[in-house]
Each structure stands twice: as structure tokens, then as C-alpha cells.
Amino acid sequence: MAKFVFVTGGVVSGLGKGITASSLGNLLKASGLKVFMQKFDPYLNVDPGTMSPYQHGEVFVTDDGGETDLDLGHYERFIDEKLTKMSSTSAGKIYLETINAERRGDWGGQTIQVVPHITDSIKNKVYQAAKSSGADVIISEIGGTVGDIESQPFIEAIRQIRMEQGKENVVFIHVALLLYLNASKEYKTKPIQMSVKELLSLGIQPDIIVQRTDKHSSKEIKEKISLFCNIPTTNVIDAIDKESIYEVPLEMYEQNLHGLVLDQLQIKTKITDMESWIKFCEKIKASKEEFEVTFVGKYIELQDAYLSVIESLKIAGYEFKRKLKINWIQADKLNESNYKEVLQNAKGILVPGGFGDRGIEGMILASKFARENSIPYLGICLGMQIATISMARDWLNLPEANSTEFDNSGAVLIFDFIRGIDVQNLGGTLRLGAFYKTTIKEGTKAEKLYGSREVFERHRHRYEFNNEYKKPLEEKGLVFSGIYEEKKLVEMIELPNHPFFVGSQYHPEFTSRPNKPNPLFKGFVEAIIMKTK
């Protein structure tokens, strides 16, 4: 029988609720439990797949092709488990499914209401996650802030789950802000009290309060929260600012967050073994010297749009005891007349994934510069596509070479709609998830990096390399190092006579984990370090 932990947020958003939930997941996993995590988002969009990266940050992709909230990336990196579509649900999805069921006549003309129909549907998502994952503990984060109109059905649903399952099977954790008044130099517990009051009015007494603060709080503060919020002082945990988010599990461990949860859930475990996590944090602390990546992207004003790429670079850097420094370049600011000057000191160039035509020509120039000047280059999805287009333009004397996505007026479409895949049945026509086996060519850098001839990585793209141009490009020296043989789709490219020039049609950033960077990132970072030694 699975047990449940629900994490809510109070006072303001952006308190690191996801990191708290992930840290608890990390501790429970280190205690030998099987953990599954899920996020409920109160917005009405059906999924994050079509939401603007400017507003919502990265779309994290799961193995089973779920387009999810970026918090799932934290979850996976902290608990080192593959999550699924079951891990991400928005209010929009719940309402859509419920209304579709009503339209189908599933309820035989009953009146459909938020309680019980929407709340039942939310509860089902929690119970289904428990069933399909077979986990010992399901940690569910409720997005938004308690008191929001949108999140009320979720709060009501978890209240009912506690009633159904009992206190020994359900823990409520509330993450809220401990306010600091700079003028009077004092901490104020009132916002936390108010948000707990709000929770209580919805029928939920939190079991543990995690207060976000800049430093450890005094005994008096904890006593005050204990008194007003009706929990023992031991159940008030400080979430203090850390230099790295990866230090948070150890901080929570010190304060016995796992012990509180395990006790209440009456789970007996042996020890909570933090050894490998401690080692990882030691690597972070030892990473003083920097390595620099020139990041040529479209959404650089909002770095959350590249969260997993950035974390993958950091994680890879720690393996070499190096700290990441990013030189951000807005792709559409690069042009023929300035690119050489702007990029002249680049140590390594990365072009990440993206959609639409803005900045494409700038990215093409960046990949060309890396190619022609022996600068390590990693092209992810779009970054692989534009690198290939650039080679076709330069080497095959096809100046109009392009992808249908950016310009379909010319005849030279190096990337085009998915060929050989049933476009009709792909929903939004994206190739999603880790369903496609990449066969790696023998003797390539890719083989060396992966140490394997077969890999499954996660995809999220629409356009594929047009095999008409494969032979001509091979003759000029491009190596197609990874192929999805079943449909003959290009998955990876590389240049042999270059320190590191690698592109992948898939997204390697979704599978980097602490102590286990994705091989492409590790290879890229190593090449940068070698070059700057």
C-alpha cells in the first residue's frame, strides 16, 4: 500500500516548493524506499507543451513522451527515477477529461460539479500514480499558492485523501515564506500564520511547515510558529538559501525532515544513506575554477527556458571540478558582420533546442564559427539541425539550404516534416519521448562517449533530416553517427576532424543526473576544458 505526501505552498510563489519536494524524495529514496513524484498545476492550459517558454520556462520531456512542467526535471535529478505522464497534471487537463466524459455521456446526465467530479478526478490521478508506479511513497506537489481560486479543488481533493487514508498514510507539508523586515531587522511569522489559517479554513492542518528563510531561524521563531500553527517545534524546518540547490537535501537531512515523514507514515527503514549525495556535493564545493560556454539561444532573457541544459552543463562540470560560466548570446543579434568578433573568444559553443525562425541565421553563423575554428560545439535538436544546414550551404554549394520550419519557399529542404512516420497519428506531429532506438555507428565519438552502440534518448521535435542529402554530406566529411534504423531517421551527427563537434536530434539534457552527466555533455565539457588547459 502506497503512502502519500502532499506539498503545498503559502504566502508567495517561487519559494522552492519543488526543491523541497524533490529533497524529501531524495531522502526517502536514500532510506531505501521506492519514490514516485507528481506535480499538479492549477492553470487551465491542458499541458505545458504549448505554453510559451517566456512564461513557463522549459518543457521537460519524460521517457513516455509527456510534455511536462520543468519541476519534473528537478524531481528526476533529485530522485534519479524516470517519471511518466502520470507525474504531470494541470487543472486544464482535469477539466478537459471531465467535460469530455460528460459529453460522452459517462455520467448519464448527472449534474457535473467541482465537488465531487473534479475532485474525484484529481484523487484518481494520485491513486493511479500510486498504482502504476508501485512506489512506496507518492510525493505530490500542488502548484500555486494556498488561497488561489484555481488551486482550491486540489486542496479539497487532498483533504479527502487524508480522510480516506488516515494520518498514518498521508503527510501534509506546507512551504511558506518567513518574512524578513530589513528596516527593523526582524523576522515576521505572521504571513506563515495567515497562510496556515487559510489552509485550515480549507480543512487542512499541516503536519510539517518548511519555512523559507535566508538563515536558520531562532528557537523563539519556531516556538511562535508552533504555537500559532498547531505543530511541534520539531516539525518546523528551515529551508535556508544555499549556494547550490543540490545541497538542500543534506540541509533537510540535518533537520530530520525524512525522520518526521517516516515516523508519521509508520515506515521503518534502516539507515538513510546519503553517501553518494555527499560525494556529489563535495564535488560542487571543490569546483572553484570556471569553464565557459557560449550559449547561443533564442530565449536567453529567461534562462528557465533552458533549465535542464544548464543543470546538465553544471553536473558535467562538477565531474571535472569546474564551475559553469555562461556567456549568453541572443541568436538574432548575431549577423555576418559581427559574428567573428562576438565569438572570437568562445571556448565552447552550444546551440540548444528551439522552435520558430527567429535567430536561426545567427545560430547558423555560430555553428559555422565553431566548425571552422575547432571550437567545441554541442548542437541540441535545433542546434543539430542548423549545424547540418550550415554544412549543406557551405560544402554542397547550396546557399538556399534550409528547413521547412524556417523557409519552405526554396527547393533545398535539408530538414522536413517527419518522413515515414504517420503524421496523422502524432497528435501535434511532434516526435516525442524515448521510444526510438538510436543505433550508433562503430568507431565514432558517439560510441566512445556512450560506451555503447544503442541508446534511447528523449525527443521533442517535428522536422527530420532529409536523407536525400545524406550521401553528399558524408562525402564531404560529415559523419551520421546515430540513426533510428527502423525509420532511417538521423539522430546524431559529428565531425571526425574536429576536437568536438556533435549534434543530436534528441535532447540529451533530460537524462543528466547528479554524478551521472549525460555522455554528450560530459564529452562537450571535457573538450572545452582540454582546449583551455
Is 155 annotated to bind ligand?
A: no
d(Cα 440, Cα 453) in Å, to the nearest integer? 5
Strand partners, 328: 295
Is 69 annotated to bind ligand?
A: no
For residue 220, give the amino acid letter. Answer: E
CA-closest candidate to residue 143, choices 129, 155, 126: 155
Longest dimension (CA), the chain: 76
Is 142 annotated to bind ligand?
A: no
How far lies 418's CA from each of 117, 403, 462, in Å? 39, 12, 6
CA-closest candidate to residue 313, choices 256, 352, 279: 352
Judge contact between 167 and 264, C-beta under 8 A.
yes
Q: Which is nearer to ligand GLN, 37 or 381 (CB)?
A: 381
Closest approach, Cβ 462 to ligand GLN, in A, equals 4
Total binding residues toward ligand GLN, as defined by CB under 6 A: 11
Is 383 annotated to bind ligand?
A: yes
Task: Work out whether 361 is an interface residue with ligand GLN (CB under 6 A).
Answer: no
* Length of the chain measured in residues: 533
Among 15, 326, 382, 391, binds ligand GLN (CB under 6 A): 382
Is 18 annotated to bind ligand?
A: yes
Among 347, 371, 462, 498, binds ligand GLN (CB under 6 A): 462
- Window 397-436: contact mask with ligand GLN (x via CB under 6 A): --------x-------------------------------
Q: Which is nearer to ligand GLN, 353 or 523 (CB)?
A: 353
Task: Work out whether 457 is an interface residue with ligand GLN (CB under 6 A).
Answer: no
Closest approach, Cβ 413 to ligand GLN, in A, equals 12
The residues annotated as belonging to the active site are 381, 507, 509
Strand partners, 175: 9, 210
For the record, the C-alpha cell of 246 comes out as 543540490
Among 463, 469, 521, 524, binds ligand GLN (CB under 6 A): 463
When CB distances to ligand GLN are compared, the closest residue is 353
Task: Work out whether 274 is an interface residue with ligand GLN (CB under 6 A).
Answer: no
Q: Which is nearer to ligand GLN, 251 or 357 (CB)?
A: 357
d(Cα 311, Cα 317) in Å, to the nearest integer? 10
For residue 463, give the amino acid letter. Answer: Y
Task: Work out whether 460 is an interface residue with ligand GLN (CB under 6 A).
Answer: yes
Exposed/middle/buried for residue 105 (C-beta within 10 Å: 0-12, 13-18, 19+): exposed
Q: Which is nearer to ligand GLN, 135 or 382 (CB)?
A: 382
Strand runs (DSSP E) across 406-456, as ranges? 413-417, 431-433, 437-440, 454-456
Is 457 annotated to bind ligand?
A: no
CA 269 to chain centre: 29
Is 20 annotated to bind ligand?
A: no
Residues that bind ligand GLN (CB under 6 A): 353-355, 381-382, 385, 405, 460-463
Q: Which residues are annotated as a binding site for UTP?
A: 13, 188-193, 224
Q: Which residues are annotated as a binding site for L-glutamine?
A: 54, 354, 382-385, 405, 462
